[in-house]
Amino acid sequence: MTPDMVHKDHAAQNGRKMMKNPITRRTFVGGVAGAAGVAAFGGSSFAQLALPKEPVALNVIDVAGNLALTQKAIENYRKAKPNLVSRITFTKAPAPELAGKIKAQQDAGRVDIDLVLTGTDALSAGIDQKLWVDLLPTHAGALPKLDDIYLPAAAKMQTLAKGQGVVVTYYPSGPLLEYMPNKVQTPPTTAQELLAWAKANPNRLIYARPANSGPGRTFIMGLPYILGDSNPQDPAKGWDKTWAYLKELGQYIEYYPSGTGAVMKELGEGSRDMTVSTTGWDINPRVLGVVPKEAKVAALKGFHWVADAHYMCVPKGLSNEKLAVLIDLMNFLLTKEQQAYTYDEGYFYPGPAVKGVTLDMAPAESQAAIKEFGRPEYEKWIAENPIELPLQPDQMVVAFRIWDEQVGGSKRK
């Protein structure tokens, strides 16, 4: 988000982000029980959450770059429900800073963040620190039957939320390699070839701190599958090969930026020749002109996709009236009409978490961008390679800590 809306990564760091031009708002059917003044979703627990008699203001904070995918839909909700929402403020922050900020507000009894849009990073930190409202099963009756509406992989990603978040967008992610073909004539095809290339071309490979970067964490979570580690879901005891590999690779990396946006800027400017990437981080920076269109991608032999998703989370400490509105908003964002916005310009490609949302339902500019900058090999790779869950929240926190302590060290910027 900046004026032409500069994409920020999962850490909301540097890097351009766009927004689409306004398009016709679609009307949301259902959501409010008029005279009763409660949400009309049938959950007995939720029925006790009265909707506000006067519209409320909402503060939405994004630590995942998710507003590129959902801001138009959220604004559509405000237009469709002026009786519930007077205004919506959108802010952005780095994912690692969010948990401490929310905890401080909760301790002070003054929570002014209403909805958090996050990747698995801040989701995990919030679960670890018990910051989030338990949405499921407490309010399951107030939400759609998620297993019925989600794509299979998105439904699996929902399990990571431990009931404390709701998936709003999904993509298979990576890990992929992205490179400039004029600098890398023969891209690596194996992990050992990548290591050999980095050694032969010191400081020409770059990736961002995993705790603040979708491609960064997808890369480290994908390596255990590629390297044949003993337990890809246990970074403390099952990643011996991965940690050794990352330490050795780090000898040939000058520094680790704080977010993916900075990485793509350096790749686009030519100060680096290769980085780790994902489908969305490949497509969108080329759409925006941050990275040249001619950049290429490669996948290492035997790789498994490590899926990613964005979640809607609610901090503890809000009024029941606000919680009622937020759950109504979640329902709205999970309709097919609003999910179609999440194709965006490829930032989280494909993007929709809900079944039956096709590209031809997306805004024209989304269709045009993906037609021009998408890659036909993605459909083949998605079909031919397994899709794995990322680490469980508690294990992700462990992985970030080990990387920060043993790999990133003094090279973080």
Cβ atoms of 27 and 109 within 8 Å: the answer is no
CA angle 262, 296, 274 (to 5 degrees): 45
Percent of the chain with pLDDT over 90: 83
If asked whether residues 353 and 263 sit together in one domain, one would say: no
Looking at residue 298, its pLDDT comes to 97
| pTM across the whole model | 0.80
* DSSP conformation class of 354: B
Nearest to 251 by CA among 216, 220, 205: 205
Looking at residue 23, its pLDDT comes to 27
Which domain, by its residues, includes 385?
173-306+380-411
Q: Which residues contact 57 (CB under 8 A, 6 or more apart)?
A: 85, 86, 87, 88, 89
If asked whether residues 166 and 183 sit together in one domain, one would say: no
Q: Is residue 11, in this structure, part of any structural domain at all?
A: no
Looking at residue 48, its pLDDT comes to 63
Mean pLDDT, all residues of the chain: 88
Q: Is residue 142, in this structure, part of any structural domain at all?
A: yes
Looking at residue 292, its pLDDT comes to 97
Nearest to 150 by CA among 370, 354, 342: 354
Q: Round the CA-based radius of gyration of the chain to a whole number and report it.
A: 21
Burial of 316 (0-12, 13-18, 19+ CB in 10 A): middle
Q: Is residue 6, in this structure, part of any structural domain at all?
A: no
Phi, psi of 221 (to 5 degrees): -75, -25
Q: Is residue 9, in this structure, part of any structural domain at all?
A: no
Q: Is residue 4, in this structure, part of any structural domain at all?
A: no
Nearest to 305 by CA among 383, 213, 375: 383
* DSSP conformation class of 405: I
pLDDT > 90? residue 277:
yes
Cβ atoms of 174 and 218 within 8 Å: the answer is yes
If asked whether residues 320 and 283 sit together in one domain, one would say: no
Q: Is residue 261, in this structure, part of any structural domain at all?
A: yes
If asked whether residues 186 and 118 sit together in one domain, one would say: no
Distance CA 245, CA 252 (A): 12
If asked whether residues 102 and 198 sit together in one domain, one would say: no
If asked whether residues 279 and 400 sit together in one domain, one would say: yes
Residue 67's Cβ-side half-sphere holds a number of Cα atoms within 13 Å equal to 27
Looking at residue 199, its pLDDT comes to 98
If asked whether residues 168 and 188 sit together in one domain, one would say: no
Q: Which residues contact 244 (CB under 8 A, 6 or more apart)?
A: none
If asked whether residues 187 and 59 sit together in one domain, one would say: no
Cβ atoms of 292 and 19 within 8 Å: the answer is no
* Segments in 28-161 forming alpha helices (H): 67-80, 95-108, 120-128, 146-149, 152-159
Task: Please list, residue by residue across 30-42, b when 16 or more beta carbons sit within 10 angstroms of its beta carbon and e when fewer do.
Answer: ebbeeeeebbbbe
User: What CATH number corresponds to the domain at position 326?
Assistant: 3.40.190.10
pLDDT > 80? residue 1:
no
Q: Which residues contact 292 (CB under 8 A, 6 or more apart)?
A: 180, 268, 286
Beta strands in 176-291 (DSSP E): 176-179, 205-206, 274-277
Number of domains making up the chain: 2
pLDDT tens-digit map of 4-46: 333 434 333 333 333 333 322 222 223 333 323 334 333 334 4
If asked whether residues 83 and 144 sit together in one domain, one would say: yes
Residue 21's Cβ-side half-sphere holds a number of Cα atoms within 13 Å equal to 2
Q: Is residue 15, in this structure, part of any structural domain at all?
A: no
Cβ atoms within 10 A of the Cβ of 218, count?
Answer: 28
Euclidean distance between the first and final Cα of the chain, in Å?
A: 22
Q: Is residue 26, in this structure, part of any structural domain at all?
A: no
pLDDT tens-digit map of 185-205: 999 999 999 999 999 999 999
Cβ atoms of 408 and 211 within 8 Å: the answer is no
If asked whether residues 39 and 120 sit together in one domain, one would say: yes
If asked whether residues 62 and 85 sit together in one domain, one would say: yes
Nearest to 161 by CA among 184, 204, 127: 127
Name the residue with tokens 């766009």: 18
If asked whether residues 197 and 85 sit together in one domain, one would say: no
Cβ atoms of 254 and 197 within 8 Å: the answer is no
